[in-house]
Chain A
């Protein structure tokens, strides 16, 4: 891989407009990545999902060079209907369009030469890879007191022009005091067997609200990694919802730093997997000051040969008295070949805290199926109704009713 990645890096530098300083910085990250390689199961965080093996097995040799100088045509048929929204469109990793039509233009700042943050706490070699290859990093700032009128949908799309490629996407968001953003990440791939590596950094100032909904629904053979770093000031709220269902492999990491008093973080997720799919959600919530709160609910429905992993860590600093931390993960295994791994971790250094975790897994209740079938529903209908019901409370946690309804219709869940 080393020779290939070096050649691809040189090609990337040649076709880009990086300054000398940028190139030097990127080279540093490249070398750091080469030194560490893709994360493997030797690392505690990756013991359930050996990315190095997964890439080898599913893709073989990756190509890291992407010619970003040529634009792609935007396929407007992918746009979400029935929801007025702003757009950022990624095609094959290139930002094709940024459209904030519905917003006051002086309340949003978009900056495209934002310099990468050196390191996030708890990150990994994939950040170095992202730093080395990401072409442009846009930073979007919501000005003080501004609540975006319409949601922002980020379309993550690929087309058949690429294969066995590594794509690196990067965005920065700053939510100034008392501003709010509703952000939907929508994944839609036509290309297969690529490795997509996404980093987002959110900086939430006092009273800011972030709602991020990640929808990976359409079946595809790609390998996806997504990392959200969320810094939270006083009284800020972050809500993350993950529908993890479409990709062949997916790992979502959420690292949340509750730095301001009365800040809170909510993470809710659904895994709905089948046929050899393997998905993971790993969360780290750092309670760093008094009176912060976190809540997590993750549910899995696992079909034949599929596997889901939930690693959830709650860290409570010695200063963080009155922390309220909760996490629950549950799984329904539909087949004896399906697998669910949960690793809850509590690391608590304060003495006046309320923290709990739980995890449960089992099969669909045969008695409930019999009950429904005795009312004339066939096995498939009964199963679907039970699974719908099982997942409904996760979707109900979505606080934005407009988006909740959208997601319900996407998932096919009815009330």
Chain B
């Protein structure tokens, strides 16, 4: 599904990703773990199409060159990024935003757009599953939401849009244990033989709830080791500094 070959990314002459390669097949869950500044967020930003990086190498999504697609086209094709710091958008109602987003993607896929009633039914159902306060859907997007609510809102959006590839950028940071469980449940519900996940995290904890197929250790812009879930446990024990 996603093939990254020798990806290099610079920002203002600083090299962030160095010959980064990764292969994700349909249905797989990959976790990338790494210390601060190792290039985790850069990777997720580049995959979603954020501007401002100097890039070389190749990224293929379903055999299509990702770099030829605009940010919104990537979303239309089924790439979703759960932001590390979801933005507050004053004056934009959460429901309206969700509906606009969902219908933009449905339209691009050639599916019928949902009317207000169909949309509300769906969003209420999903909110309930995620124990997301329904009343918040009528508020301005993320404005005045707690850290945990913002993260839950990301997962709500993810489950509404049911993407093929979901990238979770430190979704676990700032979550309490209950919220962590809810968020993980959200991910696990979406998990099937077609959908893939790239989970970026500092900690092993999240991986207790979302069992990855592969764990990669990212340091200084490069994957230095790959393995199964046991790698995360080893990492947790040794710490990043003593790893290698």
**Measuring CB to CB, which residues of chain A are less than 8 angstroms from any residue of chain B?**
365-368, 370-379, 381, 385-386, 388-393, 414-415
A381 touches B100 (CB 8 A): yes
Partner of B97 from the list A365, A367, A385, A390 (CB cut-off 8 Å) is A385
| Contact (A376, B87) CB under 8 Å given A370-B50, A415-B96 | no
Q: List 13 A-B contacts (CB under 8 A).
A: A366-B51, A370-B71, A373-B71, A374-B72, A375-B75, A376-B76, A376-B101, A377-B72, A377-B101, A385-B97, A389-B91, A392-B91, A414-B96
| Contact (A373, B49) CB under 8 Å given A368-B87, A385-B100 | yes
Residue interface mask B118-153, A partner, CB < 8 A = 1? 000000000000000000000010000000000000
Mostly, the A contact residues are: helix
Distance in angstroms between the alpha carbons of A375 and B70 in the assembled complex: 12
**Measuring CB to CB, which residues of chain B are less than 8 angstroms from any residue of chain A?**
48-51, 70-72, 74-76, 80-81, 83, 86-87, 89-93, 96-97, 100-102, 104-105, 108, 140, 157, 161
| Contact (A376, B104) CB under 8 Å given A371-B83, A414-B96 | yes
Partner of A388 from the list B72, B92, B102 (CB cut-off 8 Å) is B92
Partner of B100 from the list A374, A377, A391 (CB cut-off 8 Å) is A377
B100 touches A388 (CB 8 A): no
| Contact (A367, B87) CB under 8 Å given A374-B81, A375-B157 | yes
Distance in angstroms between the alpha carbons of A115 and B134 in the assembled complex: 60
Known: A370-B48, A372-B89. 11 other contacts (CB 8 A): A365-B87, A371-B86, A373-B49, A374-B83, A375-B105, A376-B76, A376-B101, A377-B100, A388-B92, A389-B90, A390-B90
| Neighbouring B residues of A414 by C-beta, 8 Å | 93, 96
Question: Between A and B, how many residue pairs show CB distances below 8 Å?
Answer: 81
Nearest first, the 10 A-B pairs at minimum CB distance are: A389-B91, A392-B91, A376-B75, A375-B101, A373-B71, A376-B104, A389-B92, A376-B105, A371-B87, A373-B72
| Contact (A389, B140) CB under 8 Å given A373-B75, A375-B161, A377-B101 | yes
| Neighbouring B residues of A368 by C-beta, 8 Å | 87, 89
B101 touches A386 (CB 8 A): no
| Neighbouring B residues of A370 by C-beta, 8 Å | 48-51, 71
B108 touches A376 (CB 8 A): yes
| Neighbouring B residues of A372 by C-beta, 8 Å | 89, 97, 101
Distance in angstroms between the alpha carbons of A370 and B48 in the assembled complex: 9
| Neighbouring A residues of B108 by C-beta, 8 Å | 376
Distance in angstroms between the alpha carbons of A375 and B158 in the assembled complex: 9
Min CB gap A234→B, angstroms = 36
B92 touches A386 (CB 8 A): yes
For A414, the closest partner residue in chain B by CB is B96
| Neighbouring B residues of A371 by C-beta, 8 Å | 83, 86-87, 89
Distance in angstroms between the alpha carbons of A365 and B76 in the assembled complex: 23
Distance in angstroms between the alpha carbons of A393 and B157 in the assembled complex: 25
Distance in angstroms between the alpha carbons of A374 and B89 in the assembled complex: 14
For A371, the closest partner residue in chain B by CB is B87
| Contact (A378, B104) CB under 8 Å given A370-B50, A373-B75, A414-B96 | yes
Min CB gap A299→B, angstroms = 10
A377 touches B104 (CB 8 A): yes
Min CB gap A278→B, angstroms = 26
Distance in angstroms between the alpha carbons of A67 and B104 in the assembled complex: 55
| Neighbouring A residues of B51 by C-beta, 8 Å | 366, 370
| Neighbouring B residues of A415 by C-beta, 8 Å | 93, 96
For B93, the closest partner residue in chain A by CB is A415
Distance in angstroms between the alpha carbons of A51 and B161 in the assembled complex: 54
| Contact (A393, B100) CB under 8 Å given A374-B71, A374-B75, A376-B105 | no
| Contact (A388, B91) CB under 8 Å given A373-B72, A377-B100 | yes
B91 touches A393 (CB 8 A): yes
A376 touches B72 (CB 8 A): yes
A381 touches B91 (CB 8 A): no
B89 touches A378 (CB 8 A): no
| Neighbouring A residues of B96 by C-beta, 8 Å | 414-415
| Neighbouring A residues of B92 by C-beta, 8 Å | 385-386, 388-389
B104 touches A386 (CB 8 A): no
For A392, the closest partner residue in chain B by CB is B91
Min CB gap A415→B, angstroms = 6
Distance in angstroms between the alpha carbons of A368 and B92 in the assembled complex: 11
For B107, the closest partner residue in chain A by CB is A376
| Neighbouring B residues of A373 by C-beta, 8 Å | 49, 70-72, 75
Min CB gap A394→B, angstroms = 10
- A372, A373, A376, A391 interface centre (most CB from chain B within 10 Å): A376
| Neighbouring A residues of B105 by C-beta, 8 Å | 375-376
